[in-house]
Copies of this chain bind each other. A is one copy, B any other.
């Protein structure tokens, strides 16, 4: 194993978020379930966008947000994901690199446009996502740069990749390369319905190829088909070396075999937009982990980053997380 020059490599769907505030009625009128993530086609995207109010555009994508978060903490982050060679693709690449993330996956020169997620933020701060995957469908094993995976302490992947067979293969290839190089692998389960779609396959992956699982309460319950959180926690403790289970305002639990560490959420004045909460939790945790901190400290950093991102619109940090963590005595 050679020296690592990347702390965290994140792999995911490269998406530009199109965010607008809406009333609850808008979500209902479009037959959407508040808080859900929906995959939509281009026609549905146009229909929805046509009915949405004025929006703002911000680079997003679950693992992309995590990479930006790691870099904001001062960690060395890299990213694999597929944009098209178009204006939104250029914006996505700029924002990634501007945050200090290494991002060299070539853009697609033809096929669908750069992916967009139409995110409806209701007055309660909840977000309902409608994702048009666009150019992400062109992400394949050819985009998994072996040297980069080998150079990363942790390769972290979003479960959403599983929705496309080619991306799933790329994900599995990356995990294999990482493990062969003596590196750690990590996955976020992304969404309870994503778990539902891929339960057996996720379980198989976790049991064989993953070192650190991130999941929120509904995702981990879905994985083990139980309504009992403790039951799910006991099960994941047997299936994966480390599990990080987030529970919104109730904080999180980090499980490592027999060790269980509960950590509180970081206080937030007003929840403005929960988009990116899980992504930034993972960023703080993985930054802590790859800089050799103890698990409770990793959880503390995750909670801090999640609190920052839900206090404003958009899923990427608006402030420097390293300076923020230092100011509150966490670094």
Contact = CB atoms under 8 A, between A and B. Distances in A.
A96 B87 CA distance: 19
Contact of A87 (B52, B55, B56, B86): B86
Given A57-B57, A57-B58, A58-B57, A52 B88 contact: no
A44 interface: no
B94 A55 contact: yes
A88 B53 CA distance: 16
Contacts of A258: none
Interface in A39-72: 49-50, 52-59, 68
A68 B56 contact: no
A309 to B, nearest CB: 13
A142 interface: no
Contacts of A318: 21
A314 B87 contact: no
Nearest to A68: B54
Q: Is the interface of A mostly helix, strand, loop or mixed?
A: mixed
Contacts of A68: 54
Contacts of A210: none
A180 interface: no
A295 to B, nearest CB: 29
A86 B58 CA distance: 17
B54 A56 contact: no
Contact of A56 (B20, B50, B52, B56): B56
A58 B114 CA distance: 18
Contacts of A52: 94, 98
Given A87-B113, A88-B87, A56 B314 contact: yes
A161 B50 CA distance: 29
B56 A58 contact: yes
A95 B54 contact: yes
A91 interface: yes
Contact of A98 (B54, B94, B99): B54
Contacts of A114: 87
Interface string A10-53: 00000000001100000000000000000000000000011011
Nearest to A89: B87
A322 to B, nearest CB: 14
Given A21-B318, A55-B95, 12 more contacts: A50-B94, A52-B94, A54-B96, A54-B99, A55-B94, A55-B98, A56-B56, A56-B314, A57-B91, A87-B87, A87-B113, A87-B114
9 closest Cβ pairs, A-B complex: A57-B57, A54-B95, A87-B87, A53-B98, A54-B98, A56-B58, A54-B99, A87-B88, A56-B56
